[in-house]
Structure 1
Amino acid sequence: MDKAALERRLSRVEGFADPRLDLEQYPTPADLAAHLVHLAGVQGDLAGKTVVDLGTGTGMLALGAAFHAPERVLALDRDPAALSQARENERRVAETAGDEPATDIEWLLADATRAPVCPASAPGDRSNATVLMNPPFGAQSGNEHADRAFLATAGDLAGVSYSIHNAGSQSFVEAFAADEGGEVTHAFRAELELSRRFGHQTSEREVLDAEVFRIEWK
């Protein structure tokens, strides 16, 4: 499936009905999700793989990956309300698009930083697993460095990960990956266009600068 077609399908995904600030529940825009998933497909990181979406929220990245014929898709979130919306989005996308994703998604209620899954096909072999995630940026008090825990989990589970971070994170992500024996192979800038959902936001719409990274974990 090409990127434009995928974006059209993902544009039907509904956001959080009652987003939680403590979990930094900001939606992943359909255009950015389609671009990230398309890149993962081109790199051969989806088809035939086990894909794990850490902190799936309303399911945007997991749904995108499921259209690229992975062997399995696991989508984890600690918020039951978010998972309920994600399941509804799975039905919504299939009904309105006229076709279903190639792979069913397993929706799991779990803390993504303590993921109770083992996607490896053999002990110690992570080569067949790919993580996609839009982790919390760690911008809220008490939630500092939240993205670090997500990266650590990705490195434990998968051979490759794709993640979205706050702008200015490249040196941190590269250093963290290197400390864990990994390497950033791709990096690009992105924008998150967000509507006003929380009291601290001062405008009806705002654009957050972000960065996306592909990491190969050793």
Structure 2
Amino acid sequence: MKNDLKQALSKVRDFEDPKISLEQYITPPALAADLVFTAYMQGDIESKKVADLGTGTGILGIGAELIDGEVVAVEKDDSALELAKENAEDLGANIDFLQSDVEEFGKSVDTVVMNPPFSVHSDTGLDFWEKALEVGDAVYGISPRGARDSIKSLVRSSNHKLEGVQEYEIGLPPSYGFHTEESRETPVDLIITKRST
């Protein structure tokens, strides 16, 4: 199932003109498939209400819908939202898209999946984590390794508990004109939390 998911997600189209102010990068299909499959194996996708916060290209929400999640994808950027809709249509994923800032999203869901905008030089993305911990019973989020302690602190001050951290090195292709390297390995974490009962 995971290989089929990875193969399907490899068809998701990337941003043609990514916006640096929004830190727009595509989630690599292998990492997206790992995140969604991990959540599925934990019982947090199939027949569950899933929110993809900051959906970008739609890759995580599409993955969740392909294995029977009921998905709402939240995105504030017009062009990213349009791309996500096109990607979902191309892959036959039935997703409810919502154009909104993440801070304004207030619907309680079973599961949040996300790869929030992040900078390897700051704690950008913590606002997404705050919202995810508020609305989701389970959270599966990708973040830069350098933000791990800040996220753990947020989790400790919430009604969630840390369930696991999986480490990855992802190759980010040059997406912006100032990128000079062909590809750059970036250490990221898949952080998993669950609401305490």
Displacement of 1:78: 0.6
Q: Is the 8 A contact 1:112 1:150 kept in 2?
A: yes
- Other-structure match for 1:126: none
Q: Which runs of 5+ in 1 are unaligned?
A: 95-100, 121-128
How far, CA to CA, are the matches of 2:158 and 2:66 in structure 1? Answer: 31
- Other-structure match for 1:149: 127
For the pair 1:90 / 2:80, whether they are aligned, the reply is no
- Amino acid paired to 1:35: D
For the pair 1:110 / 2:100, whether they are aligned, the reply is yes
Q: TM-score, normalised by structure 1?
A: 0.85
Q: Is the 8 A contact 1:196 1:203 kept in 2?
A: yes
- Other-structure match for 1:193: 171
Q: TM-score, normalised by structure 2?
A: 0.93
- Amino acid paired to 2:189: E
Question: Aligned ranges for residues 3-152 of structure 1 at < 5 Å?
Answer: 3-70=2-69, 72-94=70-92, 101=93, 104-115=94-105, 117-119=106-108, 129-139=110-120, 144-152=122-130
Assess, with a 3 A threshold, how the Cα gap between structure 1 residues 139 and 208 changes in structure 2: closer, same or farther.
Answer: closer
Displacement of 1:17: 1.2
Assess, with a 3 A threshold, how the Cα gap between structure 1 residues 88 and 12 changes in structure 2: closer, same or farther.
Answer: same
Q: Tell which deviates more after alignment, 180-189 or 72-81.
A: 180-189
Structure of larger gyration radius: 1
How far, CA to CA, are the matches of 1:213 and 1:92 in structure 2? Answer: 29
Q: Aligned to 1:169, what secondary structure does the other structure show?
A: helix
Which string of whole-angstrom CA distances, capped at 9 and with x for unpartnered residues, describes residues 68-104 of structure 1?
212x21001110100111111112223xxxxxx4xx2
- Other-structure match for 2:152: 174
For the pair 1:208 / 2:186, whether they are aligned, the reply is yes
Aligned length: 196
- Amino acid paired to 1:110: S
How far, CA to CA, are the matches of 1:113 and 1:201 in structure 2? Answer: 30
**CA-atom RMSD in angstroms:** 1.5
Q: Aligned to 2:30, what secondary structure does the other structure show?
A: helix
Assess, with a 3 A threshold, how the Cα gap between structure 1 residues 190 and 139 changes in structure 2: closer, same or farther.
Answer: closer
- Amino acid paired to 1:150: F
